[in-house]
Structure 1
Amino acid sequence: MNLNPKSRLVSLVLTVLLGPLGLFYSSVVGGLILCVIAFVSLATVIGPVICWILAIAIGDHCTYKHNKNIDNIKSLVANKG
């Protein structure tokens, strides 16, 4: 597991500008899934727009969750020592 915190601002900027591609910063699996869904639903136009909005929300959530897990691990290590 990567124990370096991720920036929520960077995640927001990447997902707003790049949509599902920007989601790869915070969630590789989520980014891959949303990219496939956006590509498959490209003809509908609304599918990629929904994927873009979901990418922003999921990116922020994954970054927050990642940072929270790092804090929990660091507090466990500090309490053991």
Structure 2
Amino acid sequence: MQAGASSFRQLDYKAAWYGSRVWKADRWFPSSKTCSSPTCGQRHGGLTLADRTWTCTACGVTHERDHNAAANLLSAMLADAA
């Protein structure tokens, strides 16, 4: 069994209990490194864990790493649901 697999099983169980479901992104999904601007999507390959903010070289939007990742994950989840 994979590390953390029982955690996801528990989350699935609890979600079903409350009439919801769990969505899991691929481990290598570049949520922090991809510009979340609706007209861009440029990937910043040189981003490190120490970089908390970054500016997209394609569109000039400045991103806070965690907010950008959340926006990208939400978009991917909604695209999956459609």
TM-score by length of 1: 0.36
Higher strand share: 2
Larger % of helix: which? 1
- TM-score normalised according to structure 2 size: 0.35
Q: Which has the higher contact order (CA 8 A, sep 6+)?
A: 1
